[in-house]
Amino acid sequence: MRSRLLLTSVLALGFAVAAHADETPQVAHGHQLAQDYCSACHAIGPYGASPNPHSPPFRTLHERYPVEDIQEALVEGISTGHHGMPVFKFDEAASNDLIAYLKTLETPKK
């Protein structure tokens, strides 16, 4: 039984690592920032609903505007957005990383 549990855990970890193997350190850091600061309200991955229905999924942001347009707001401090969005501020490097992650979620328009 322990062998089966260990094998299942190793396989799951392997799939998780393989899924993110092509991430640059910048994208990986941006993903971590999204997880830490945004995932309580926003769906931050390629699928799923946002926990807060007023918070758009990150994978749809590029459909509204170029995601690079929010970089200044990330550095200066976002104070608007969806209802109940907290005010927070990133340094330039962190905002670049978050933007790099958001760009990975963009789907080509058909």
Confidence (pLDDT) at 42: 94
Q: What is the pLDDT of residue 18?
A: 38
Helical H segments across the chain, by residue range: 2-19, 25-37, 61-64, 71-76, 92-104
Q: How many CB atoms are closer than 10 A to CB 28? A: 14
- Tell me the CB-side half-sphere exposure of residue 59, using CA atoms within 13 A: 12
Tell me, yes or no, whether 5 lies in a domain.
no
Q: Range of 84's domain?
A: 24-104
pTM given for the model? 0.72
Strand partners, 63: none
Q: Are 63 and 49 in contact (CB under 8 A)?
A: no
15 lies in some domain:
no
pLDDT of residue 96: 95
DSSP letter at 78 equals B
User: Domain for residue 99, yes or no?
Assistant: yes
Per-residue pLDDT of the chain (110 residues; tens, 9 = 90+): 544 434 334 344 443 443 455 689 999 999 999 999 999 999 999 999 999 998 999 999 999 989 998 888 888 876 555 566 777 788 999 999 999 999 999 976 55
- Give the total number of structural domains in the chain: 1
- Asked, for residue 86, whether it belongs to a domain, the answer is yes
pLDDT value at residue 86: 72
pLDDT for the residue 83: 62
Q: CATH number of the domain that 52 lies in?
A: 1.10.760.10
CA dihedral sign, ordered 45, 70, 95, 91: negative
